[in-house]
Amino acid sequence: MELRHLRYFLVLAEELNFTRAAERLMIAQPPLSRQIRDLEEELGAPLFVRQHHSVRLTDEGVLFRDYASRIIALSEQSVSDIRNMRSGLQGTLYLAEVEGKGPRLMAEWIAGFSRLHPKVQFSVWNGNSDEVVNRVRKGLSDAALIMEPHDPEGLQSHLVYSEPWIAMFPADHPLAAPDQDTVSMRELADCDLIIPSRNSRLKEIRSWLGTDAAELKVVARFANVVTAYELCRNGVGVAIYPAAAADIVKDRGSVRIRTISDPGIRASYVLIYSSEHPLHTLARRFVEYILTQQEKRVED
């Protein structure tokens, strides 16, 4: 069995069509069919069920796909490790982040890592936590920064930051008194609320109110904190968001910001990466750098 066989198998397992797989591999279809048959004979089990215009994986094929993916990843990682030993870390890191404190934390990590490894390039994608988790699971991002809550299946996670939640009021709102620094969720229960678009956020905010949850009045949902600010500034309602939202507010005369004072209500930011596939060298070193920085911050 050669790595070539594994690569051919993995492409066919993705395409589930011999013609398309052969086109991707830039070989003729008969040699591809022959290589797959040779692999199946060596393993002593069929990997695909052949159909008229397509194929599908057998149970043995599904299991072998996992092993083949790991073997190819380890092979590529070994080549990368050897090259990096001679020339230093290089390549592109594919990262993802949420809004709030996400851009600032990610920028700090990238800046510090870049000073140590100037040949590394970065591609950063921004979205909500559900979208970011999906990218990591699909292998589109090597590592990412999200906000809790999240589904931990298939992921490694590390808490890296937490901050309070805030309420952002239109300047003329009754609860926006200049001398008031905090507000409770119970006080917000009767307000027209503007909240993040994630369904888990709605459940979380309802849980904060307990028995008053049925009366929660949500007038707008948003995916971008700038939208929340503009809605609030124009009097649509009261925006609830992690404290980093205050960073975007330039005109403090148009809105008022109050920290939500209820104990235990905090926004937690989590570094995630896949637990099902090994990190390549560059991504592993980046994660190690972040965790080392976190340890130093705790010690300080």
Q: What is the pLDDT of residue 145?
A: 96
User: In this predicted structure, what is the pLDDT of residue 107?
Assistant: 96
Which residues fall within 8 angstroms of residue 153, CB to CB, at 6 or more apart?
A: none
Q: Residue 77 contacts by C-beta under 8 Å, 6 or more apart in sequence?
A: 278, 280, 281
Please tell me the predicted confidence (pLDDT) of residue 189: 86
Query: Would you state the pLDDT for residue 85?
Result: 56
| Tokens at 88, concatenated | 């230093």
Helix residue spans in 120-242 (DSSP H): 129-137, 185-188, 199-209, 225-233
Beta bridge partners of 273: 156
The pLDDT, as a whole number, for residue 264 is 85
CA angle 197–200–201, rounded 5-degree value: 55
State the pLDDT at residue 4: 83
The pLDDT value recorded for residue 53 is 76
What per-residue confidence (pLDDT) applies to 84?
Answer: 61
Domains and CATH numbers, the chain: 3-85 (1.10.10.10), 88-161+268-299 (3.40.190.10), 163-264 (3.40.190.10)
pLDDT at position 214, please?
57
Which residues of the chain have a pLDDT value below 50? none
> Looking up tokens 């591609």, which residue turns up?
123
